[in-house]
A and B are shown apart, each in its own frame.
Chain A
C-alpha cells in the first residue's frame, strides 16, 4: 500500500486508473480540470483511451459509446457541465451501462461560481436526467474516501449494470492530503472481465447466436427492446434492492446523543470535527453522515431514540437546502430539525455549526 500526498482531482483520476478505468472523455471546467489532465498524461501509459470531447454533451455520449464496448469507463465534470451530460446519463441508465461519472460540485444555479458547493444534491439523487432513473451516489468527505469510493464505483457499476455517480465538491477536488492508494487491477482481470462483457457488448456479433442491441428499454444482451414499462419495473426492482445492499453511512457518537448533526461530503467532515469540539465541551452530540446519499440511509434516522433527542441539525453548502428535505422526510416531525447552511461557493464553518448546535441543544 502506497501512502502519498496528492491533490484531490489527481487522486480521483489515479484511483480510477487503478480500478481499471481504460476510457475517459471529458471537457474542461473548473474545479475538475486536473482530472482530465491527469488522464491525458496517464492513459497512453496504461493502454487506455483519453478523448477530449467537443462539449460535456459529447463527452458523455462518448462515455455511452465506451460503455457499450464493456470497457471500464468514466467521465468527470462539474455542476453545469453535469447538466449538459444529463442527456447521455439518462441514456446510460436506460441502457443499463456500467459507467462512472464524477461531479466535482461548484456553486449554482447555472454558471454559479467556481468555488466548492453542495448545490447538486437533488440533481444527483433525484433527477440527473429525464425518466426517473436512479444511480448509486457516493459522497466522499476526505481524499481517502474519494479514492476508495472511485475505486469501488467501477465494481458497483459492473455489478449492477448501472451508472454510478461520485459526488465530490470543489473543496475535495482542490485540496492536498495524504492518501493510501489501492492496488491496480491486473491486466488479466480486466481482459477477463471484458471477455465476459462480450455477452452483451456492441462490438460485433463474433459468432453469437443473435445480435446485441443497446439502448433505452433494452436489457444488455438482448437482441431488441422489451415493453418499456417492463423495463422500468426491472430497473425499479434494482433500485429498491439497493436499500438493503448498498446503504452506507457513518454513525459517529450517536449512542447517547441528545442532538444529532447530519451532513454529507465536505460538510460532513467539518461537522465531524464540530462534534468532537462539542463533546469536549460536554454536549452529547452525534453525527450521521451518509457515505452514499443514494440510497438514502433512512435506517440511520429510524433507529434513533426520539424520546431523548433535543433535535437534529442538518448542515450543507446549499441555499435553499436540499439534503435537509430527505432528512425531514424520514424524521417526520419526531424532533425539531434546524439547518446550518452556506451556499454559492462559501465553505461552511465549524464555528457556525457549533453555534447552531448549541442553540438547538439548549441548556446542558
Chain B
C-alpha cells in the first residue's frame, strides 16, 4: 500500500512557474503555502505582494492575493489586518521593495507592531529590472548600476533589516533563513511557521528574511549561486532568530 508523503501544496495554483532556473522564489512560495495548508489557513488568508519578481507570485498563489504599489505592502497589509482582524495577512517583498522604496512603510508597520507576517526575499539586487544595486548589495559586488563594484564612498553599506528592526520594541518575531540545502530549508519552514503562529497568537509584527539567490543577474549557474550564498552572502547576513517573544 503506497502512502503519499509529498505533494504540491494546495495553496499553489496548478500551473508552471516562470521564475528563472535555480531561483529560490518558487521554493519560498511553496514553503509559505505548505505552512498555510498545515495550519488550515488557505481559506482565511491574503497575500500582499510587492513589486518586482515578487509580483509574479500573483500567477502562482492560490489564496486571496493583491498587488500593491512598490514598497507599500506593509502599509496595505496593516490596513487589511485592522479592517479584517480574522484574516491572516502576509506580505511577500523583495529587498528593493522592503528596504529601499518601502523602508518607511516597513519600519513603521514594525514599530506599530501591526499583526502581520512579512516574508522578505533578499537576493542583493533588483532582479526583475535587470540586476541593479539594492540596499542589500554586497561590498564590491558588480551590478548593472555598480559596474565597478559597490564601494562605501559612493554607495554606503549593505542594510541588515533583521538587525535594524531588532532595535525596535514592538516586533515579536524576526528571523533570517536560507534555502541552500535540506537542513536549511527545514529551518526556513520552521521560521515561517513561527511567524504565522505569532500572528495567530496576536503577538504583532513578524518577519522572516530569506537570504536568496539570483543566478540570472549574478551571472552564475544555480549551483554556483548556492556556493556564492555560502561564501559571500551568509558572512554578511548571518542566519538565526533575532527576536522570538
Nearest chain A residue, comparing its CB with the CB of B42: A205
Contact A49 B82 (CB under 8 A): yes
Question: A65 interface residue, CB < 8 Å from B?
Answer: yes
Within 73-101 of B, Cβ neighbours of A (below 8 Å) are at 75-80, 82-84, 86-88
**A270-281 vs B, Cβ < 8 Å mask (1 yes, 0 no):** 000000000000
CB distance from A107 to the nearest CB of B (A): 27
Known contacts being A61-B69, A211-B62, A214-B67, is A204 close to B80, with CB within 8 Å?
Answer: no
User: Which chain A residues lie closer than 8 Å to B42 at the CB level?
Assistant: 205
Segment at the interface with B among A50-58, A163-171, A230-238, A297-305: A50-58
User: Which chain A residues lie closer than 8 Å to B75 at the CB level?
Assistant: 53-54, 58-59, 61-62, 65
Question: B236 interface residue, CB < 8 Å from A?
Answer: no
Question: B105 interface residue, CB < 8 Å from A?
Answer: yes
Nearest chain A residue, comparing its CB with the CB of B41: A204
Question: A206 interface residue, CB < 8 Å from B?
Answer: yes
Option from A55, A66, A206, A224 in Cβ contact (under 8 Å) with B83? A66
Within 101-131 of B, Cβ neighbours of A (below 8 Å) are at 104-105, 107-108
Option from A51, A95, A224 in Cβ contact (under 8 Å) with B79? A51
Question: B216 interface residue, CB < 8 Å from A?
Answer: no
Contact A202 B46 (CB under 8 A): yes
Within 35-91 of A, Cβ neighbours of B (below 8 Å) are at 49, 51, 53-55, 57-59, 61-66, 68-69, 71, 73, 87-88, 91
Contact B58 A62 (CB under 8 A): no
Question: A269 interface residue, CB < 8 Å from B?
Answer: no
CB distance from B39 to the nearest CB of A (A): 13
Contact B105 A211 (CB under 8 A): no
Question: A25 interface residue, CB < 8 Å from B?
Answer: yes
User: Which chain A residues lie closer than 8 Å to B87 at the CB level?
Assistant: 69, 203-204
Contact A204 B44 (CB under 8 A): yes
User: Which chain A residues lie closer than 8 Å to B65 at the CB level?
Assistant: 202, 211-213
Contact A65 B104 (CB under 8 A): no
User: Which chain A residues lie closer than 8 Å to B108 at the CB level?
Assistant: 53-54, 58
Question: B197 interface residue, CB < 8 Å from A?
Answer: no
CB distance from B164 to the nearest CB of A (A): 15
Option from B44, B80, B104 in Cβ contact (under 8 Å) with A68? B80
Contact A203 B84 (CB under 8 A): yes
Nearest chain B residue, comparing its CB with the CB of A62: B79
User: Which chain A residues lie closer than 8 Å to B48 at the CB level?
Assistant: 65
Bound-state CA distance A194–B63 (Å) is: 20
Contact B63 A215 (CB under 8 A): no
User: Which chain B residues lie closer than 8 Å to A181 at the CB level?
Assistant: none
Bound-state CA distance A58–B104 (Å) is: 8
Nearest chain A residue, comparing its CB with the CB of B108: A54
Question: B190 interface residue, CB < 8 Å from A?
Answer: no
Known contacts being A55-B104, A224-B59, is A71 close to B83, with CB within 8 Å?
Answer: yes
The interface centre, meaning the residue of A25, A65, A66, A68 with most chain B CB atoms within 10 A of its CB, is A65
Option from A22, A65, A205 in Cβ contact (under 8 Å) with B63? A205
The interface centre, meaning the residue of B76, B79, B84 with most chain A CB atoms within 10 A of its CB, is B79
Question: B241 interface residue, CB < 8 Å from A?
Answer: no
CB distance from A207 to the nearest CB of B (A): 6
Contact B83 A204 (CB under 8 A): no
Contact B58 A213 (CB under 8 A): yes
**B30-45 vs A, Cβ < 8 Å mask (1 yes, 0 no):** 0000000000001111
Question: A216 interface residue, CB < 8 Å from B?
Answer: yes
Option from B43, B59, B80 in Cβ contact (under 8 Å) with A65? B80
Contact A207 B43 (CB under 8 A): yes
User: Which chain A residues lie closer than 8 Å to B82 at the CB level?
Assistant: 23, 49, 51, 66
Question: B239 interface residue, CB < 8 Å from A?
Answer: no
Contact A23 B72 (CB under 8 A): no
Between A and B, 7 residue pairs with Cβ closer than 8 Å are A54-B75, A58-B105, A61-B68, A65-B75, A66-B83, A203-B44, A214-B66
The 8 closest A-B pairs by CB, nearest first: A215-B67, A65-B79, A61-B72, A65-B76, A204-B44, A62-B79, A61-B75, A54-B108
| With A22-B83, A87-B69, A207-B43 already in contact, 12 other A-B pairs whose C-beta atoms are closer than 8 Å | A49-B83, A54-B105, A54-B108, A57-B72, A64-B72, A65-B68, A68-B46, A69-B79, A69-B80, A203-B86, A204-B43, A204-B64
